[in-house]
Amino acid sequence: MELSVSDVGERRLIEYIWETLEKDPNELLGAGLDDAVAKELAEGFVLVAHTDMWVEHTGLLPGMSWRLVGRKAVVANISDLAAKGAKPLGLLFSVGLPPEFPLESLRELVEGLSEGASEYGTHVLGGDLGESREVILAGSIFGVAHRERLMPRSGAQPGDLVAVTGLLGLTAVGFKILLEEYEAPGSVKAKAVESVYRPVARLKEGLALAGCGAVTASMDISDGLAVSLNQMAEASGVSITLEKLPIAEEARFFAERHRLDLEELTLYEGGEEYELLVAVRPGMWSEAVKAVKNVGGSLYKIGVVCEGSGVYKADGSKVEAKGWEHLRRTVG
């Protein structure tokens, strides 16, 4: 029986595609190794580009307005540029719509695209429109970075400190509430659902970290913390040992109330959590913390880079690369 794409899953499909495509030897981030691509421009600058797709049947959450959808589609693109230390120049969106899609809903969707772009100091410059069976948003973003400040995901070195730019766990709680009908008090529910509906891209933090020169590797954790840690370790040819995760109080309360393993919830059941995951030179930790603080953000140390491969908890147990994966419902 012939294999289908769902037998393989998103991550193996990406490897399969790059085994087939001819790679550009002048692309700076490594074909297939990063969520963005970079090409050198004149005078020490690079063009950084990224694309991200949103599909209605996997992306539209209960109670989510079309305006929120449009904004979130922009944030997803901004986040990957932030992780490279690139300043956005503009976005393009190709939009697929079913013929019966309400015109008022389209207006809300476009307003959300515009709101998201304005929030991060950029614009939607154009795109394409086509007919589809459900709503599809395919965004592309372009930005510019200093060549020497470009932050790949593949540069982590043994001894580097591993950090994230915010508290973790809220999106995992939000998904439990929205998709699995878990109950939570009003304030916990509101904050968790807001983290899923209105995520924040850490653009200011990414630009600040790139500017201070302390970061050796960077990516966002939108695919989930466990998956992202493993991707960084694999791309860099190192292992990562976790120490302590900075977890939001609302997530701690929710896990205790429902008798859930808090660490497992944070590692494996998040996703669409647009914090940056970075490896920082140990001798420049204070510079990195100061740079992020100066733009109103925070940096939390969660572990250390070691020789070897894989990701491990402090007790030595392995952190598997499990989490959400398109075209495959069960991962791990």
174-195 tens-digit pLDDT: 999 999 999 999 999 999 999 9
Full strand arrangement of the beta sheet holding 273-280: 215-221, 273-280, 161-164, 300-306, 239-242, 310-312
Provide the number of structural domains found in the chain: 2
Give the pLDDT score at 82. 98
CA dihedral 286, 292, 296, 297 (to 10 degrees): -100
Q: Is 86 domain-assigned? A: yes
Looking at the fold, whether 303 and 168 belong to one and the same domain comes out as yes
Q: Structure pTM?
A: 0.94
Q: Is 55 domain-assigned? A: yes
Looking at the fold, whether 15 and 67 belong to one and the same domain comes out as yes
Weakest mean pLDDT among 182-186, 225-229, 295-299, 324-328: 324-328
* Unique residue bearing structure tokens 């991060």: 120
Note whether 155 and 236 are within 8 A (CB).
Answer: yes
> Cα separation of 93 and 282, whole Å?
40
Positive or negative torsion for Cα 181, 182, 187, 191: negative
Looking at the fold, whether 187 and 294 belong to one and the same domain comes out as yes
Looking at the fold, whether 45 and 20 belong to one and the same domain comes out as yes
Q: Is 326 domain-assigned? A: no
Predicted confidence band of residue 325 (pLDDT cuts 50, 70, 90): low
Distances (CA, A) of 321 to 256, 269, 325: 25, 12, 10
* Unique residue bearing structure tokens 């694999």: 234
Q: What is the mean pLDDT of residues 86-97?
A: 98
Looking at the fold, whether 91 and 15 belong to one and the same domain comes out as yes
> Cα separation of 90 and 103, whole Å?
25
**Listed residue (91, 98, 94) closest to 76, CA to CA:** 91
pLDDT tens string 97-128: 999 999 999 999 999 999 999 999 999 999 99
Beta carbons within 8 Å of 296's beta carbon, 6+ residues apart: 204
Note whether 69 and 139 are within 8 A (CB).
Answer: no
Give the pLDDT score at 40. 95
Q: Which domain holds residue 90?
A: 5-149
Looking at the fold, whether 134 and 168 belong to one and the same domain comes out as no
